[in-house]
Structures are given as C-alpha cells and as structure tokens.
C-alpha cells in the first residue's frame, strides 16, 4: 500500500514507485528509468533508499526527494508529487528597521518559534496578504535580518514603507540551496551579486568566516550607482580583519571609489580560471544565468555553482 495525497494505491510485487504511479494513471514525468536523468522526482516523509537519492542536490535530499524509478513501491508508506510540497509557516513580528542606503532597508523580524535555516536561504514573507521572497541575510539574537530595496509602486514596497514595529508577518520556508557549503575550509569561494542580491552572499560570507574558512573568498557586489552599494563599511571592516577575504564593489556608472562595470565581467577578468572554485550567484535572472554559464565555462563544476535569481517586483 502506498499513500498519495490521501489516496491509497495498491502495490504489485517488485514494481517501482514510478511503475505504481504510472499504473494508477498518476501524471509523473520519467526519462531514463535508470537513476540518471532525475526526471521522475517525487517526495516522501519516510526514508527513501540511498540509491534513489544518488546525485541529487543536497537540499532536495534533505527535503525527502528521490527518484521514483529507483525505489520499490513496497519500501515506503507515503509519497507526494514534486510540485505539491508544503513548507512550514511561522508567525513573526517586526522588531526594527534600519536604513542601509537611500532605498535599501534592513527589516529585523522575530519569529514566534525558532526556524531551522541556513544563512543565504530564502523565505516567503507575507504581510497584509502580499507575499514576496527574501533571503535571510543576517541573524541576531533570534531575529532574522532581510535586505529590501523599496521600489516605486511595488505592492510589497508600498506596504513595507509604512510597516510599524510589532507589525505581524508570516514566514514560510526556508527554501533554496544558496548557503555556505564549501567542500573544505581551503576551497576558494567567489560570491557575485547585484543590488540586494548581496543579501544571501552576506549571510554566506558571515557563515564562512564564522566556520574559519581559510581559502580565498572574493565578493563582487554590483549596483547601478553608488546609492546601491550598501554595508560597505561592514564589508571593508571584514576585509581588514580577514586577509583571505576581498571585497570589490562595482557600479555601472563611473564613480571614483568603485570599479566600473558589471560584477560578472569584473570578477571574471580578475579570476579567469575558476577550476576548483565554489561560486555563489544572486541577483536579477539575466545576470545570474550569464554568470552561471561563464563560471562553468571558466572551469567551475556545476555542483559548485549555487544560484539564487530574483526579480524585483
């Protein structure tokens, strides 16, 4: 017997979870049926066999995803389809708002109960029926810090502009795999972000330094102009205290104290060979995808590329 969304599916001897779903006319994709292509992922709260999770991204493994072609239907009690995953939600209150730049603010939220998360992962924040995704950039005394760029006419921006201390939010998550996960303390790290794409990178950087990461860490933060470069003094301070950390702010328009150009172009001209590197990328989707491809072509392995694209809305 296999339980799927409250329905009981009968199981034939020796059939895989995939066979069983197909036989019951449940729509599920498949490809190689040999545990290579990962087309047939489904989720379980039971413990799937190791071979059914071989080669999957760690965050998917942690969340119970497995290849349905590589698991006997009689090995599990319940499953759910891949696109129906429900993440836990937590109530949280707004404690404090700090201005970091003309249009960039840090919102400190205190959740009612502790949330298991890694800095750099993102959550869905719901406030007055509007929901947007934000990365967990910082943590302090049980509070979570989010970097938000308030944009003209953004539905969430309009609400947040007037958010008061004690305001009540719902946090859902965490999601994503953009968090510090170096294979060794010596592995070189490259962090590339645009605008508030700095948020997860700042969290990853803090985690890396906290863990005593000794390999080189280079952070390239890009913005349209100087008004988008934020947390500069904190980052300069960190670079002073950690000789293995270098911080390179870049702006599209020419400004005296910053490198001119995109963080993608500048980081790759400084570091043309990324063999062995782990690269973390966050920012607008076009920038993120371009960086992912260029970093791969520059020698970084796909498993060492972590990307968290987001749209300002």
Can residue 31 be called a binding residue for another protein (CB under 8 A)? Answer: yes
Give me 236's structure tokens: 């300069």
Binding to another protein (CB under 8 A) within 57-116 occurs at 57
Can residue 292 be called a binding residue for another protein (CB under 8 A)? Answer: yes
Closest CB to another protein among residues 12, 32: 32
Strands 143-149 and 138-140, sheet pairing? antiparallel
Give me 204's structure tokens: 């990853």
Can residue 124 be called a binding residue for another protein (CB under 8 A)? Answer: no
Closest CB to another protein among residues 94, 305: 305
**How many residues sit close enough to another protein to count as binding (CB under 8 A)?**
20
Coil, strand, or helix at residue 222? strand
Q: How far apart are CA 138 and CA 245, in angstroms?
A: 18
Q: Where are the beta strands (DSSP E) in 168-277?
A: 168-175, 189-194, 217-223, 245-251, 259-260
Among 154, 168, 296, 309, binds another protein (CB under 8 A): 296
Among 2, 11, 38, 199, binds another protein (CB under 8 A): 38
Stretch that binds another protein, among 26-34, 77-85, 118-126, 206-214 (CB under 8 A): 26-34
From the number of C-beta atoms within 10 Å of its C-beta (0-12, 13-18, 19+), residue 13 rates as exposed
Among 23, 33, 128, 242, binds another protein (CB under 8 A): 33
Beta bridge partners of residue 193, listed in sequence order: 221, 282
| Least Cβ distance, residue 55 to another protein (angstroms) | 7
Backbone angles phi, psi at 80, to 5 degrees: -140, 155
Can residue 293 be called a binding residue for another protein (CB under 8 A)? Answer: yes
Q: Which residues bind another protein (CB under 8 A)?
A: 31-39, 55, 57, 289, 292-293, 296-297, 301-303, 305
């Amino acid at each position: 017997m296999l339980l799927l969304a409250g329905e009981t599916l009968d199981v034939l001897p020796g059939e895989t979870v995939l066979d069983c779903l197909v036989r019951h006319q449940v729509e599920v994709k498949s490809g190689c049926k040999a545990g290579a292509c990962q087309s047939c992922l489904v989720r379980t709260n039971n413990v799937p066999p190791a071979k059914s999770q071989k080669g999957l991204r760690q965050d998917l493994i942690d969340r119970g995803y497995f290849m349905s072609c590589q698991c006997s239907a009689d090995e599990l009690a319940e499953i759910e389809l891949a696109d129906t995953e429900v993440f836990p939600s937590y109530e949280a209150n707004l404690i404090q708002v700090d201005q970091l730049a003309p249009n960039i603010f840090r919102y400190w939220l205190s959740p009612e109960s502790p949330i298991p998360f890694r800095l750099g992962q993102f959550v869905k924040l719901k406030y007055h029926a509007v929901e947007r995704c934000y990365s967990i950039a910082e943590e302090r005394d049980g509070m979570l810090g989010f970097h938000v760029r308030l944009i003209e006419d953004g539905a969430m921006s309009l609400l947040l502009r007037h958010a008061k201390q004690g305001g009540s939010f719902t946090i859902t998550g965490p999601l994503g795999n953009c968090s510090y996960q170096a294979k060794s303390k010596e592995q070189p790290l490259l962090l590339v972000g645009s605008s508030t794409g700095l948020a997860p990178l700042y969290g990853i950087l803090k985690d890396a330094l906290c863990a005593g990461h000794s390999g080189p860490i280079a952070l390239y933060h890009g913005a349209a102009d100087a008004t988008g470069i934020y947390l500069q003094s904190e980052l300069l301070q960190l670079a002073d205290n950690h000789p293995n950390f270098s911080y390179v702010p870049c702006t599209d328009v020419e400004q005296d104290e910053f490198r001119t150009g995109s963080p993608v172009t500048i980081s790759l001209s400084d570091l043309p060979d990324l063999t062995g590197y782990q690269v973390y990328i966050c920012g607008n989707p076009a920038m993120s995808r371009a960086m992912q491809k260029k970093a791969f072509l520059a020698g970084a392995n796909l498993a060492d590329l972590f990307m968290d694209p987001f749209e300002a809305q």
